[in-house]
Structure 1
């Protein structure tokens, strides 16, 4: 009997991101602005603007040089049910049940019927408890990565951009019939339960453990979407009644991979998600646009629209047969790429930057999940020319995703090498980190 119920979203998400070198909490990762509450629509600099708001490309100064980000990475994990710890405990119980069933022999049942059957009952009861705990539980992970080469100039600033974002969810669907089946034999003081347990113990000893597992129908699902963008951002600054107004656009090729690993719990193996039968992909065209205006020397407003072309992509259809009734159920989902419009404001001088962003539209994902809509605030203090300290807060006004506090530091020795680090922590057992290396020439 194969009871490898390792539902750790951490392992699944990391394996997704490492295997595909993509990943994002937003549709971008940029360590400086991630540390400032995930803001950046008005506060990002020209070197990272191509990842967030292409209009910011045009905000370079005459002394600014080519900037290369290689790369920026981030990851966030939310595990409000503490599955990271609980799954280990559940797996131990399942392994114990596995050992008990595998080691059953007809001779053991005859020689020591009470002791053997009581052990069998205890294992069944623990497994039923574990399945009840797993009912409705969910864990998720987001990650992001980005590379950009920004070339400033006075005519038409340009940047070459490759970025990706990924979202993974692990969940379970517990069949009440499984719990009922196990509970029917877990009370050693009930003669009827003892009789059923004895009969099933003898059946398993004579005919193998499949006589038990063939009756269990609970399922586990691991779903993930990885979206990679490859584009060229261009921008230009206009004079709008004395106000510098920048406009930017990023046409891009968009590649999406979807994973829908759904199987019965007793067949679950975290290494199977990458098999072809659970994966499909899609290639399409999309576009990002942005605006930025300097209302005063210290006050900037911005507006960006990401993924202006909607695209709904279906996962592979996974069919699972109910082992008790023979009924076949289809497990399928749809990943939604839809426009995300975000407004931002920033106040800045040589020492301090204050920023705030708010989504004007909802962020969609798998149709089986709720939508989100984020707002964030952040601050950066630069006490030294080579040191920056940042902090912020990001919240989901729809209340589904975790609200998090963010923070980070930036180092810029000789103003040529820039190293930015960020971390976050929040409700629902959320935590994350990010890092970025950039060079200016």
Structure 2
């Protein structure tokens, strides 16, 4: 029965996916436009060749990133848990409890007591129905991610240890209208059992962790031009999850339970090339060169990770940086399976390498993700220690934030 519910919910899922790259505290301020203009420590997460984009004084870089994102226009997650709590309260109550709440049964006027208790029962039944209607056929999307980079730039071969984790989940409800009458008939009776409700919620998504070694080389092609080439072979751990529970038993914390997850280890590779010519930057990257599908607990349902090619052009001056980056093909979202293809644009104002202000814009050409705008600030005294904070927002109550802490010398 549970597998049948899961399959039905996956067929019905139609909510928008969460946004693209959102957990790089420095580049999120530019909406992820860092494929051509990113630095050797933060940009290598997007483009392996940027590991070779360093200055003579750069010997070491260490950065940590983290970010969260949510799209929950109707407060679905809270609504599900509030409904489950309310149904638990009703399950414990009988007609005798309602008489207690009105001050007890009056033997001198039994009809009035019964009417008053019945009115209270009907009010609580209608409140349960209202809460169920409030979560009917709604979708919410949540995501979180983090990364670290340990970069050792070198003229011979730049090396960077790169670690990333990304979690994305979509939650959807499917409400059976027969439950409304079930609640009216059962609330206040000794046989009321919330488990008899047929409405349910489903959470679907994946957690993908990666650890790789980015290798990059700079080749001089002219007096004022260089070609950077890079690759990141990486180990991947993919955990898919499909969680299903009736509305009276829905718990967000249960998503990663063993009975709902499938875990797989794999290998893959990212490639990148960047051409530097004066202040102009041109880049081409391919992430996840090897396409693969990963099973979920639902027979026939899989998570697909396939190659994503991105091209970018940017300008990088002493005080102003700007970039436009565009995906050349679609790639599926981890949580919903919907295809996405992003265009990103961002700009940065840099005050003497001590403080930065960033803005950006992101659009999904497939219209499965809300457009978002971003803003970020950074502080980098002596260009040695940096703290960068970014936030972004979009329609559908989409919002998120990220942060980076870094050390370079």
TMscore range, shorter length: 0.7 to 0.9
1:104 aligns with 2:94: yes
In structure 1, what is the equivalent of residue 74 of structure 2?
81
TM-score, with normalisation over the residues of structure 2? 0.85
* Pairing of 1:5-24 with structure 2 (within 5 A): none
Mapping of 1:323-402 within 5 angstroms?
333-366=301-334, 368-402=336-370
SS of the residue 1:377 aligns to: strand
Q: Is this contact kept in 1: 2:320–2:348, CA < 8 A?
A: yes
Alignment partners' CA distance in 1, 2:187 and 2:211: 58
For 2:55 and 2:97, the matched residues in 1 are separated by 85
Can you give the 5+ residue segments of structure 1 that lack an aligned partner in the other structure?
Answer: 1-23, 186-196, 318-329
The question of 1:255 aligning with 2:237 is answered yes
Q: Which residue of 1 aligns with 2:197?
A: 216
* Deviations 1:266-319, CA, capped at 9 Å, x for gaps: 12223332321112211000110011012x3011110111111112112223xx
Aligned to 1:59: 53
Q: Does 1:416 align with 2:409?
A: no
- Judged with a 3 Å threshold, the aligned counterparts in structure 2 of structure 1 residues 28 and 120 are, in CA distance, closer, same or farther, namely closer
Query: Closer, same or farther in 2 for the Cα pair 1:97/1:148, shift >3 Å?
Result: closer
What are the within-5 Å matches in structure 2 for residues 193-272 of structure 1? Answer: 197=185, 200=186, 204-205=189-190, 208-210=191-193, 213-239=194-220, 243-272=225-254
The 1:181/1:369 distance shift into structure 2, 3 A limit, reads farther
* Distance in 2 separating the partners of 1:101 and 1:229: 45
Aligned residues: 380
Map of 1:116 onto structure 2: 117
Q: Secondary structure at the match of 2:41?
A: helix
Deviation at 1:135, TM superposition (A): 1.9
Specify the alignment match of 1:72 in structure 2: 65
Aligned to 1:33: 27
Asked if 2 retains the 8 angstrom alpha-carbon contact of 1:101 and 1:120, the reply is no
Shift of 1:363: 2.6
CA–CA distance in structure 1, aligned partners of residues 97 and 37 of structure 2: 74
CA distance, structure 2, for counterparts of residue 265 and residue 201 of structure 1: 16
Gaps of 5+ in 2: 1-17, 100-104
Look up the match of 2:273. 291
How many Å separate the matches in 2 of 1:280 and 1:27?
24
RMSD: 2.5
Higher helix fraction (1 or 2): 1
Task: Quote the residue 1:126 is aligned against.
Answer: 127
